[in-house]
Amino acid sequence: MGELISIAKCAKALEIKHRDFSRRLASAGIETFEGKVDVDDVKRIAPNFTLDDQTICETVRLIRQTARRRGAVAPPHKPERELQDDLDRMHNKWLLERKRAQEYRDFVDNLVTHLGQMQESQDPNEAAWAVRLSAWICHQFD
């Protein structure tokens, strides 16, 4: 068994009810121990599960990596007006990409929610299929 985490903490991170998450675990045949579950098992059935400290570590790594690159690049000398135009163009592109990213995020969140509901299905074939699809999605992100 790897790292254990409380079922309540997992449910909170996934933004679902404790009992719904417990049903998902039971449907997937995942064993729990004293109210805790293996993190790897959770990731297998919940593709959107992340621990906050992992996200923070990744953010810090990206900031450090970017900071190192910035020191070696000298910005070109442009007039202030031209720089403002460049900044406005980049901002508009960023807004469009942010909107597209949010649409993808919403789609994935809806997919994960639907898979979670399917994992709780009374039909064992549907529940098993949902668990396998969740595991496949998680594998794609690894």
If you write DSSP's letter for every residue of 31-75 in order, what string do you get?
Answer: --BTTEEEHHHHHHH-TT---HHHHHHHHHHHHHHHHHHHHH-PP
Q: Is the pLDDT of residue 128 over 70?
A: yes
In this prediction, residue 90 carries a pLDDT of 93
- Compute the distance between CA of residue 87 and CA of residue 57 in angstroms, rounded to an integer: 29
Instruction: List alpha helices for 73-123, DSSP H.
Output: 80-119
Q: For 3, which DSSP code?
A: -
Sequence-distant contacts of 17-22: CB under 8 A, at least 24 apart: 20/116, 20/120
Q: Is the pLDDT of residue 42 over 70?
A: yes
- The rounded mean pLDDT for the chain is 82
Which tokens sit at 99?
Answer: 């909107």
Q: Is the pLDDT of residue 139 over 80?
A: yes
C-alpha separations of 78 from 6, 83, 84 in Å? 55, 6, 10
Is residue 16 classed as helix, strand or coil in its secondary structure? coil
Q: Is the Cβ–Cβ distance between 38 and 2 less than 8 Å?
A: yes
Sequence-distant contacts of 64-72: CB under 8 A, at least 24 apart: none
Q: Residue count of the chain, please give it.
A: 142
* pLDDT (tens digit per residue) in 70-106: 555 566 678 888 888 989 999 999 999 999 999 999 9
In this prediction, residue 67 carries a pLDDT of 67
